[in-house]
Amino acid sequence: MSGINRDAWLKALEDVGIADNHDKDALTILEFCALMGLRETSARRRLHALAAAGKARRTTKRMPDKAGRLVTMTAYRLLETKPAKRKGAA
């Protein structure tokens, strides 16, 4: 067995953008629909546009289905953004 530990493997996967970390803080499309009050198609388009603009990152999230089993779903995490400057602030 390799002398490299699991954390090193996970870090290497994360570095190339294929980490399987199941981001619990990300929003699924349906969660984004509920948050923003949008239909699924509109929410999907907006999330895809955010990801294409580099403002969000596509990831995965584990959620229970109707039978109680954990399933892996596509989710999006908003990337760090700079706070907007207020008008009149120096």
Total structural domains within the chain: 1
Q: Is residue 49 part of a domain?
A: yes
Structure tokens at 86: 């207020």
Q: Is residue 22 part of a domain?
A: no
Q: Is residue 41 part of a domain?
A: yes
Dump pLDDT digits (tens) for 23-47.
778 999 999 999 999 999 999 999 9
Q: Is residue 33 part of a domain?
A: yes
Choice between 54 and 87, residue whose per-residue pLDDT is larger: 54
pLDDT for position 46: 96
φ/ψ region of 85 (left if φ > 0, alpha if ψ in -120 to 50, else beta) reads beta
Q: Is residue 5 part of a domain?
A: no
| Residue whose tokens read 């990831």 | 59
Q: What angle do CA 57, 62, 66 make, to 5 degrees?
A: 130
Q: Is residue 46 part of a domain?
A: yes
Domain carrying residue 59: 29-64
Q: Is residue 77 part of a domain?
A: no
